[in-house]
Structure 1
Amino acid sequence: MVDRTHRTAAVEGHRLHYLQAGDPDAPPLVLVHGGIIDAAHVSWGAVIEPLAREYRVVAPDLLGYGRSAKPDVTYSLSLHVGVLDSFVEAVGLESAAIAGISMGGGAALGLALRSPSAVDRLVLIDSYGLGRELANGRLTALLAKTEVFNKAAIALMRRSRGFTAASLGNIVYDTDALSEDAIDAVWEEAKRPGVGEAFRSFRAAEVTNDGYRTDFSERLDRMEVPTLLLHGEHDEVFPHRWSERATARIPDSEYHLLAECAHWAPRERPGTVVDLIREFVPR
């Protein structure tokens, strides 16, 4: 059993909570969660312990999420990139492997492009920032401008674990195969005060009528960091062709399409994610 410790860091005047596990002298691995209802332990809960056997795992709750501060700011991707950059410096990591899922992948990618010396290896899982196409076209754009549906869904999730489990069908291939811990993590997080506000702000900032605002595709040929891209075959949030296309552009990269997996690989295919990270990130 590898112990997780709860820690805090002062980042740009705000308190960021993070989990740390593993030997402090082991190679560092930063795990960055996604949006909607998420936090370090929610998306990464099943992989922190096995990864911490060989790495110093550091998993922050991004600003606006989990136990971290929730200031009244615009939660654009550029804000998360800046906060992640400052966080890595605040916890004393000169250079670290960074893995990010979904929105967290976009933040990790933005950091690798902005400060390549800070990122030793990059792992992108179902990542944002690799395309502009909206998942559901105009409906996605409309929902980004309308908060009521997201607020109503979160209210129902707080009241019902069953509704929470059913809602995860939007991001997983087979909800029946999800662990009880994964469902409970989301259900409990949905009850946290202020949950959803950062995501709604992010969505309003990043979704336009013409597509997602942030798309790093045209800069990928200048990427200096070795990159591993993982993508669920059945991901309906961001299509796997984004990662396939990005792999062709990033000079030093490899790609794995994950079968029987949608948008939440660290919870749907935790063993595979751990194995692929271990093969890619030096120990």
Structure 2
Amino acid sequence: MIGDACSLPIRRVPTRAGAVGVIVAGQAGPRLPIVLIHGGGMDRAAIAWARLIGPLSADRMVVAPDLPGFGASLSLDPVGSAAAMADIVGDALDRVGVDRVIVAGVSMGGDVALNLALRSPDRVAGLVLVAPGGLAPRVRNPAVQLLAWAAAQLPDALLLPLVRWGNRHVGQLIRRMVADPATLPPGIAERFVREAARDQAGIAYLRYNQASLAPTHLRNDLSDRVGSIPAPTLFFHGANDRLVAPADSRRAAAQMPRARLVIVPDCGHLAQIEAQDRFRVELGLFLVEHRL
């Protein structure tokens, strides 16, 4: 077992992209609801937030959607960009009946959360960003950027077999994404492997990357806009993250008026899973500090 979230019921919530699967836990009350947005690849709400939905729902409503093309929404056509995914999250929140919320996102989900905060600033009362995407001007250097863009332009007849080949090696990839595989909860890597074995798995993340890549830069770079986000923000980033540079979070936090950055030593990309106890402490302090 990797956490109670795996057994929670999933609601089908209408959006402009179709009916997305959403975990809704806890009860509406005086505390603001928290929205949990999963990452890319083979992620889904019940993996990214498996051991956190239960504790968070003890005193507030938790809403954790699976974005189109992921998890319980795998059958839906992917929507591509983080901005389009933010609109889907907004639709789901409207249907669930929650307005002002705290939004937490990991990796690609952090990119979605940032877009939601920029597009609907009155809705987002607080942001929690775990190794967020959307804050880099390019992939490493100009040459690597150009190669990544060129690869993303290949036809599906070539790209989709590559996606399926990569899916067969997800277990190894997950263990390389963390600083110490021993920190992973039992069964978590196997859950990613099971997701990768599903038909159409990985295509939505491919479409996100295709939407983000340009020949010379990343189209989803929000680093010149985040300074306008008024919501208090917690950045939580593993110091040994090899997928999203901690420097991206450091630069963004320095520009934002109410941001705090936590860099976790001996921690990789899956920071909220690898350092779950530290994450819960920092999140709790953040919620208390800002009376959320």
What TM-score do the two structures reach when normalised by structure 1?
0.90
**Residue 51 to residue 188, structure 1, CA distance change in 2 (3 Å):** same
Give how far 1:69 is off: 5.3
**In 2: Cα distance, 1:168 partner to 1:223 partner:** 32
Mean Cα deviation higher: 168-177 or 57-66: 168-177
Give, as a single letter, the amino acid of the residue that structure 1 aligns with 2:278. Answer: T
Q: Deviations over 1:107-141 (max 9, x none)?
A: 11111011111111111110011122314724544
CA contact (8 A) 1:234 1:260 kept: yes
Alpha-carbon deviation of 1:239?
Answer: 0.6
CA distance 1:245–1:74, shift in 2 (3 Å) = same
Runs of at least 4 residues off by over 4 Å: none
Equivalent of 1:149, from 162, 165, 182?
162
Partner amino acid, structure 2, of 1:57? V
1:120 to 115, 118, 125: 125
Instruction: Specify which of 19, 22, 42 is matched with residue 18 of structure 1.
Output: 22
2:237 pairs with 1:231: yes
Residue 265 of structure 2 corresponds to 259
TM-superposed deviation, 1:221:
2.0
Q: Tell me if structure 1 keeps the 8 A contact 2:83–2:116.
A: no
Give the AA of the match of 1:112: A
Deviations 1:71-102 (A, max 9, x none): 44541122112111212212111101010011
Q: Return 5+ residue gaps in structure 2 as ranges.
A: none
Aligned-pair CA distance for 1:46: 2.0
Query: 1:137-182 deviations in whole A, cap 9, x for unaligned?
Result: 245445434524332011x24xxxxxx4322134211123212221
Between the aligned partners of 2:50 and 2:246, the Cα distance in structure 1 is 24
Query: 1:208-227 residue pairs with structure 2 within 5 A?
Result: 208-227=214-233
TM-score computed with the length of structure 2 as normaliser: 0.87
Aligned to 2:200: 194
Contact 1:98 1:108 in 2 (8 A): yes
Q: Is the 8 A contact 2:44 2:71 kept in 1?
A: yes
The number of residue pairs the alignment matches comes to 276
- Whether contact under 8 Å (1:9, 1:17) holds in the other structure is yes
Determine if contact 1:50/1:274 at 8 Å carries over to the other structure.
no
1:233 Cα deviation from its structure 2 partner: 0.5
